[in-house]
Structure 1
Amino acid sequence: MSTRVNRRTLLAFLGPSVFALLAVGVVPLAYAVWKSFYYFNLTKLSRSEFIGLDNYATVLTSGAFWGAMGRTAMLFITAVPIQIAIGLCIALVLHRPGLTLFKTLTRLALVLPMATTYAVVGLLAQVMMNQKYGVFNQMFGWIGIDPINIIGDPTNAFIGVVFWDIWQWTPFVALVLLAGLTTVPPEIEEAARLETKSNWIVLRHVQLPFLIPSLVAVLILRTADTLKLFDMPFTMTRGGPGNATEFIAVLIERIGNRQFDIGLAAAHAIIMLAITVVLARIYISLFYKDVR
């Protein structure tokens, strides 16, 4: 009797979570996989036709796909190392003893960019980078620089997306690395500081080995975030000018919502999911040898 009651209690607690996971995760994923094998265009009368792997072949031979992948990779290569470098510096400062009030205020300040949604960041960037009335160009004017067309120039628009991505997610990296630093045994760190005055040696030989799991988590999460980055560049530039900020998620939106080719958009999404899983496994294999 007690076993039956325990099973019912377990089902009562886990049932809603399992149902929610199926509803928002497994079912949409299965539907996307299914539709990726069909020609499914909302503008056609006969909207659904099984075409096998044709959508995947179209994606992998598409110049637009590889161009968007290149821009997404460039965003990751440019922004994430800067986020890790600045985030590590912030984490090391907050990890040092003393300055309790300063640390508390800094932690509170770090939450603000993370709590701001991508779409709001994009709108904020659009206003602040306006050529006529934006704060950035007003500050340039104070030092004698003529107004710069940031959003309307392909290179400047890409740099703008990189800048705002760094602004938004460097605090997240800092807090994750700070949590990793708390796993360093205090006695080992204190002994190392007695042996050497070099902060670099302490970081390299004492702190960094304990930061590896945190760095792997940062790389995995930031890779996934970069691959699905849509709201901020879309609200900021609509993927333009031209296709300068048309990252892979923006391309998928254009194919699915503006060209109405749901099957092709689903194939793009499944390929991106596969790339994310492969990259996560590579990160773990390279940096975190204990996980197999």
Structure 2
Amino acid sequence: MSAAPPTPKPAGRLNPGYGRWTPALFLAPAVLALLVIGIYPTIFALVTSFRRYNITRPRDGFPFIGFDNYQKVLTDQTFWDTLGLTFRFFLTVMPFQIFLGIVIALLLHKPGLGLLRTLSRVSLVVPLATTYAVVGLIGRLVFNGNFGVANQMLGWFGIPGFDWLATTNGAFAAIAIMDIWQWTPFCALIFLAGLSMVPVEVEEAARLETSSKVALLRYVQLPYLLPGLTAVLILRSADVLKLFDMIFTMTRGGPGTATELISIYIQRVGFRVFDMGTASAQAILLLILTIMLSRLYIRVFYREIQ
């Protein structure tokens, strides 16, 4: 008589040692980091924004004053001036980054590049791996009025050099150029990922139908670039609104207020004037503005690919 077959284990039974809390234990470090780094500071800033919170006068306490800080911010002309300068900076760098990113992505998307494509993709990571502070230090060297590379390049075309960081327009152009250098590769990688989603057979058929690169981009490739464009606009908008390290190491917001973007102004209010309540209100308003811009980008640019 043959032995009875072994009884199979019930389907879906957990392995020994795998309890119901195991997934929570794996997620716990990430959740804890999110609470400590992201959620707690946001809640603290929200609570502080409703208080008179000047750290140089702790004996006065930190009384609740309602929306007085927000009223102070909304009637502060300097706040609106720095916010306008921030949007001017955003509108200056984004067209270059989007255009150059699409051009680089299209060049790397061409078939037959082989090793050159791999090396080019690796080289795109270098600016992204450079921290903001280091980018600012590089910018101080590049745009130095005495021995900077920027003036040497102008000399090749017979244009006299000048002290970039000591003039209003020169300092603004300098921080814009450094931001374009750092973040154009990011845009290129995002758009390259979108181009990789284009069905090969559809793209090959379109190349056979037309020799126009513009028509190919507009009718075949552009729909696959729109989700990436939405992501680029959302991430770069949030990044520009909080851009601090690179500008602080390059210009300290100067000369005068020529490069004092909104993040530099908030730092001045919070850590030079020590009015943490007003600075927190400014930061919360920027958070709300970032959320509103993100929803606008999704509504205008994002399209589901059918």
Q: Residue 48 of structure 1 corresponds to which residue in structure 2?
A: 62
- Computing the radius of gyration from Cα coordinates, the structure with the larger value is 2
Contact 2:45 2:284 in 1 (8 A): yes
Residue-by-residue CA offset, 1:198-251 (whole Å, 9 max, x unaligned)? 011011000001111111001100111111110111110000011010001111
Q: Residue 24 of structure 1 corresponds to which residue in structure 2?
A: 37
Superposition pairs of residues 143-292 of structure 1, within 5 angstroms:
143-290=157-304
Contact 2:171 2:259 in 1 (8 A): yes
Contact 2:227 2:303 in 1 (8 A): no
Q: Residue 84 of structure 1 corresponds to which residue in structure 2?
A: 98
Q: Residue 2 of structure 1: CA displacement?
A: 5.6
The CA RMSD over aligned residues, in Å, is 1.7
Aligned pair count?
A: 291
Q: Residue 34 of structure 1 corresponds to which residue in structure 2?
A: 47
Indicate the percent of aligned positions where both proteins have the same amino acid: 52
Cα distance in 1, alignment partners of residues 136 and 65 from structure 2: 38
Residue-by-residue CA offset, 1:163-192 (whole Å, 9 max, x unaligned)? 111000000000000001011001111111
2:154 to 140, 152, 160: 140
TM-score, normalised by the number of residues in structure 2: 0.91
Give the partner amino acid of 2:265: L
TM-score, normalised by the number of residues in structure 1: 0.96
Q: Residue 64 of structure 1: CA displacement?
A: 1.0
Q: Residue 68 of structure 1 corresponds to which residue in structure 2?
A: 82
Contact 2:226 2:303 in 1 (8 A): no
Cα distance in 2, alignment partners of residues 147 and 60 from structure 1: 41
Mean alpha-carbon deviation: is it higher for 274-283 or for 124-133? Answer: 124-133
Cα distance in 2, alignment partners of residues 199 and 146 from structure 1: 39
Q: Residue 13 of structure 1 corresponds to which residue in structure 2?
A: 26
Greater fraction helix: 1
Indicate whether 1:106 and 2:132 are aligned. Answer: no
Residue-by-residue CA offset, 1:57-90 (whole Å, 9 max, x unaligned)? 1111111111111111011111011100000000
Cα distance in 1, alignment partners of residues 107 and 230 from structure 2: 21
